Structure 1
């Protein structure tokens, strides 16, 4: 009898309409695919039942999280080779539908045959329940105060000790700013200092850090630039550790950490606002309100530094779909917008955009550093969370690193000013003076 792997390889090549880019190893020990190619293991036929009931990347991700699908070798190489399932390599844009989902199209006789073969391989029975790390039971309108709090809790309340393993001592969960030869810690410090210099922080300034995480930005700004800082987060676990770090740094009198939504801040004006890796949670429908709130909170002549991940523009914006794996397991309700839309909405709110710096390649390098940390401390990470949650993070960060490196998504620092009516922005004539 033919082994499972050759049969599965034939199904995959029908769906891809191309040669299999990896070697498959099935639960019965059989293998198929290009000799010497990196190996993808389908260790349990339950993964096929998941795929039948949920064609596409979410079905595949559930198999990965459950440990039914594995990659024993170079994770990046396998993900890069199968990336064509989700993206057009020539243009770097989303196809809108995974090639795996073509199996749902029964008009093609080849697809009908592939479906019958997959059903036969999967065996009888319903799919197993999704792994428990998946987000469940979301109700109500997107981006209400209550729903945003729940979404943030799912992602950030994994545990401070887990994040410390992954992020390292800096506890900065956003793109670092690299130079050749720097370490992750040095690159994160360089990023924090770059933000401070772009904001033109001076002794005695009031700084609001929106989405302050574990307090790294406000601690750096208060210690190095003498500001009075307020950091806000929706994660109670983040806030608890941030307050502890502030106290240990001797900055309790100058730094205030709050569990608070940006929509509830009412003690402006601030001299400067930083928003680093937070705006991805705001949502397209709420972004205009977000920009207006920050404009209201910063004083005339004050600056905003908005550091945000961006997706590539789509030919048909209405056709864009949120990544199912990221939405289901990592960032519930997260949304990415093209850079142009973000700049336009900041300008609509009254800001004058003075500088945009694209640092896409820096994020790929940062993510690879986090993956290396996770892999180095794998057993501890599993103890602190669960095997499934650790697998979620390994896949999410490795796939995201490739997405930045292949220009599928980007990240940008946008410097904007609430320019007074008299027109003096306060920005140096040579805008990028902070680089010297």
Structure 2
């Protein structure tokens, strides 16, 4: 059995241009042969867990994953019964009900503000940066925030709803730079507390609440990196909430990771350790649920920018690990490294996308335009 697992995994890795104990930075070094059985029996979950527990290493995990994904290696491993059962349950059950949404959000976003303060830019923007004409993470994130404001055509005095406001980076930027009032909502207690502190003195209201509980009317709506947690069983209620809360002449900016093919269940390792019950939308699914509610005015893909953003986040963690290791152990560090660099590989391989979509309720008279930088 061990020999079979070893031969099978070596063959799959070889097809991706990866050699066990080879000399290229994307090659892996296997420290424990249990690695082979874990990957063969549990697929991506086994691959991630075996890395966390130091059964293998790789100099450049991002390059390793780029090659694995381009070779479609994961789909050549037979899915076990447990994985099939998880997919079935995801289709039958709503894993993003209001009560579950709080648990899902807390599992990741309440990990620790100290970790995110070190990892992110100075504004604590936990979404893809926009690197055009930017050389630092701080500048690239300000680019993205400003681009988002321009796409929404913000003007002083407007009231904006920020769905999934995080630590208040967009709310603070928009209030300071564009003179708008912002209502931000999050289901993370840690995020809400720090966002209120960071936005103190500004016309920003941060609420610890689920998007389904919002009923006011807004001049514009923005959602940066939250739609991935909604789940397709709730896409209809999410879009209807946005439609209900957006004024007739307003704009809605949806910023989300996207996938090339639809799946009701995310990667098993990411689901267990990083983003419980998340789901990546596709063009077809988004189109299905905006139909009859919104006009699609503008759709931009800058997924390659997420590769660079994730590498910058990892570099911040690596450079500051000495101050974090008193709180987070080595297994956590390997888990977080695996998370950031495997996702970077996915964007580099173009298996994951990053979309900004501008929607209106009735179509912008004369056509939609936004001010270029």
User: When the two structures are superposed, what TM-score results if normalisation uses the length of structure 1?
Assistant: 0.76
Q: Does 1:257 align with 2:206?
A: yes
Equivalent residue number for residue 76 of structure 1: 62
Q: Residues 104-123 of structure 1, C-alpha deviation per residue, up to 9 Å, x if partnerless?
A: 79xxxxxxxxxxxxxxxxxx
| Structure 1 gap segments, 5+ residues each | 26-33, 88-96, 106-137
User: Shift of residue 305 of structure 1?
Assistant: 0.5
Equivalent residue number for residue 271 of structure 1: 219
Q: Does 1:13 align with 2:10?
A: yes
TM alignment of 1:96-245, pairs within 5 A: 98-101=75-78, 141-245=94-198
Cα pair 1:9 1:20 within 8 Å, conserved: no
Picking from 182, 192, 199, the partner of 1:246 is: 199
Distance of 1:200 and 1:292 partners within structure 2: 22
Picking from 267, 279, 285, the partner of 1:335 is: 279
| Structure 2 gap segments, 5+ residues each | 82-89
Equivalent residue number for residue 90 of structure 1: none
Distance of 2:120 and 2:218 partners within structure 1: 29
Distance of 1:304 and 1:175 partners within structure 2: 18
Equivalent residue number for residue 322 of structure 1: 266
Q: Residues 404-424 of structure 1, C-alpha deviation per residue, up to 9 Å, x if partnerless?
A: 1221111111111122xxx7x
Question: 2:344 aligns to what SS in structure 1?
Answer: helix
Equivalent residue number for residue 379 of structure 1: 322
Equivalent residue number for residue 359 of structure 2: 416
Distance of 1:324 and 1:280 partners within structure 2: 15
Equivalent residue number for residue 125 of structure 1: none
Question: 1:398 aligns to what SS in structure 2?
Answer: helix
Cα RMSD (Å): 2.8
User: Shift of residue 256 of structure 1?
Assistant: 0.6
TM alignment of 1:79-90, pairs within 5 A: 79-84=65-70, 86=72
Question: 1:293 aligns to what SS in structure 2?
Answer: helix
Picking from 35, 38, 53, the partner of 1:66 is: 53
Equivalent residue number for residue 290 of structure 2: 346
Cα pair 2:160 2:220 within 8 Å, conserved: yes
* Shift in alpha-carbon separation, 1:9–1:379, aligned structure 2, 3 A: farther
* Shift in alpha-carbon separation, 1:181–1:271, aligned structure 2, 3 A: closer
Distance of 2:209 and 2:186 partners within structure 1: 6
User: Shift of residue 18 of structure 1?
Assistant: 4.8
Picking from 286, 290, 314, the partner of 2:238 is: 290
* Shift in alpha-carbon separation, 1:84–1:363, aligned structure 2, 3 A: closer
User: Shift of residue 347 of structure 1?
Assistant: 2.8
* Shift in alpha-carbon separation, 1:235–1:321, aligned structure 2, 3 A: closer
User: Shift of residue 356 of structure 1?
Assistant: 0.9
Question: 2:20 aligns to what SS in structure 1?
Answer: strand
- Determine which structure has greater relative contact order: mean sequence separation of CA pairs < 8 Å that are 6+ residues apart, divided by chain length: 2
Equivalent residue number for residue 30 of structure 1: none
Cα pair 1:306 1:415 within 8 Å, conserved: yes
User: Shift of residue 365 of structure 1?
Assistant: 1.4
Cα pair 1:178 1:190 within 8 Å, conserved: yes
Question: 2:325 aligns to what SS in structure 1?
Answer: helix
Cα pair 2:124 2:169 within 8 Å, conserved: yes
Equivalent residue number for residue 84 of structure 2: none
Equivalent residue number for residue 116 of structure 1: none
